[in-house]
Amino acid sequence: MTLQVLIATLGEEGLRRLSTMSLPEIPGVKYLVSCQTGRDEPMPDVPYFFIRRHDIDMIFPPGRGLSANRNILLRAATGDYLLIADDDMSYTEEQLKALLDDLEKNERKGIIAYRVDGAGDKKYPAHAMSLDRKMPRGYSPSSVELVIKLDTIKYNYLIFCQLFGIGSPILGCGEEDVFLWNARRINVHIEYVPLTIGTHTGGLSTGQRPPTRPVWRARGAVLYLTHPRTWRLRILRQAMRAKSFEAMRLMFYGAEYTRMNMDYIDLTVE
């Protein structure tokens, strides 16, 4: 059994952040880095540190956009299990060995959500549970907490929707919410395991920082998808908490934008 860590980054600055990551050399673990080169920029120079590592493979696709980069990684992946990662994650030998042990002993399938350190005040469920039907109140997995069995991607053509996430012009986050929403709709098994698998070193995630306009729009889009009966009330409640008419307007815009693009977002639409 093999675990492949899929690291998405962008340009020379991304490679510099990558060089500070702790990526231990462990039998059964490999790393695949996709460093986007932007639109017109030349391919960045690869630090010798990465060239000499036999367990690190690198690809340099053109373009920008986090969800597009994650999809490039998923298409190129070869490991039995795939750990989604960013260039501000770090791992210890003990964490990755514990993850390998859990995957092998329990024969995990589908998508598994774990814990990471450095997630601020995020509240994780205390016990293992199935996420096949819905998420527990107040909890939503981040991309870097997800491990995916390769067969789940190959057989179900499961991808990240490129309308969502960093680098997307309208909807600035929420890509993991839509990924899991689609997985649930095509009956992919999803579960949560209370095991810490890495450390997020980059501070608060996009969803935990003060919302920007693209983030407000994405919040409305995700509510539209995940709460089809109550999304309007949930938008109003969030806007009231934020005391912002502009937040309400942006969330409703995100919901309408999603409604107009359902053929692109919903993988079950034929």
Give, for all 270 residues of the chain, the pLDDT tens digit: 999 999 999 988 888 888 889 999 999 999 999 999 887 666 667 776 677 889 999 999 988 999 999 999 999 999 999 999 999 999 999 999 999 999 999 989 999 999 999 888 889 999 999 999 888 988 999 999 999 999 998 888 899 999 999 999 899 999 999 999 999 999 999 999 999 999 998 765 655 668 899 999 999 999 999 999 999 999 999 999 999 999 999 999 999 999 999 999 998 765
Give the number of residues written for the chain. Answer: 270
In 10 A of CB 92, how many CB atoms?
Answer: 14
Locus of tokens 């770090």? 90
Specify whether domain 3-201 bears CATH 3.90.550.10: yes
Can you give the pLDDT at residue 206? 59
Provide the whole-model pTM. Answer: 0.93
Can you give the pLDDT at residue 170? 96
249-to-80, 178, 216, 222, 255 alpha-carbon distances in Å: 44, 21, 9, 15, 10
H/E stretch holding 84 reads strand 81-86
Question: In the chain, where are the structural domains located?
Answer: 3-201, 213-265
Q: What angle do CA 14, 17, 23 make, to 5 degrees?
A: 115
CA distance 198 to 85: 10
Can you give the pLDDT at residue 191? 97
Residue 17's nearest CA partner among 89, 85, 83 is 89
Exposed e or buried b for every residue in 189-202, given b needs 16+ CB within 10 A? bbbbbeebbbbbbe
**Encoded tokens for 178:** 């839509």
Can you give the pLDDT at residue 164? 97
CA distance 117 to 145: 10
Exposed e or buried b for every residue in 59-73, given b needs 16+ CB within 10 A? eeeeebbbbbbbbbb
